[in-house]
Chain A
Amino acid sequence: EAQVTQNPRYLITVTGKKLTVTCSQNMNHEYMSWYRQDPGLGLRQIYYSMNVEVTDKGDVPEGYKVSRKEKRNFPLILESPSPNQTSLYFCASRKTSGFAYEQYFGPGTRLTVT
């Protein structure tokens, strides 16, 4: 089954404690992206990756890091989480060839930083 998986699904942590949210896709997609979703603001892009070893900032990259060492994985790293990073996070992937840009989303990770 074609899918994007994220782990963990729920996470409660404290300010300053480094954490990583994993993301993996099995569709051989070149493009992967991380979004955060906050009430009334919609999905905002944090970082994206066009392919292995190619990453770039989205609209709200401050406080986040990513890496793309393998095509299927795109982890999101919070080196020193703060309460304003409490949010719902989604990983997504899509192909970059052709015209259609349908993105496949993971189930989401709800993060609470106290």
Chain B
Amino acid sequence: GESVGLHLPTLSVQEGDNSIINCAYSNSASDYFIWYKQESGKGPQFIIDIRSNMDKRQGQRVTVLLNKTVKHLSLQIAATQPGDSAVYFCAENMFPDMRFGAGTRLTVKP
């Protein structure tokens, strides 16, 4: 089956900077995407989602952008804080399944 992938396995940013985490997907028919955050020792937590009929969706300090032309998804975190350090997963809905990327580890330097 098709899978969701991530461009970079690790990302290190300075506290206060903006972070951008990327995701490439291969199933052009996918209609829904989710970003999850996984902190050490915990299960993944929902951050934000986006439907395929949208290009952009904003939450609190987070923005997800969807480019269906190149099948690319990104998560932007504004004013990154130490508490944002975690692994971030892009997930693609293939009901009833979900397909998850391997994740990007975000490290925030003080």
Name A's B-contacting residues (CB within 8 A).
4, 31, 35, 40-43, 45, 48, 50, 58-59, 90, 92, 96, 99-108
Contact = CB atoms under 8 A, between A and B. Distances in A.
A36 B102 CA distance: 12
B90 to A, nearest CB: 10
Nearest to B6: A42
Interface string B98-110: 1011110000000
Interface of B: 1, 9, 32, 34, 41-46, 49, 51, 89, 93, 95-98, 100-103
Contacts of B102: 40-42
B44 A105 contact: yes
Contact of A101 (B44, B95, B100): B95
Contacts of A107: 41-43
Given A42-B101, A42-B102, A102 B49 contact: yes
A58 B44 contact: no
B96 A102 contact: no
A11 B89 CA distance: 26
B96 A48 contact: yes
A43 B49 CA distance: 18
Nearest to A90: B43
Contact of A58 (B49, B51, B95, B97): B97
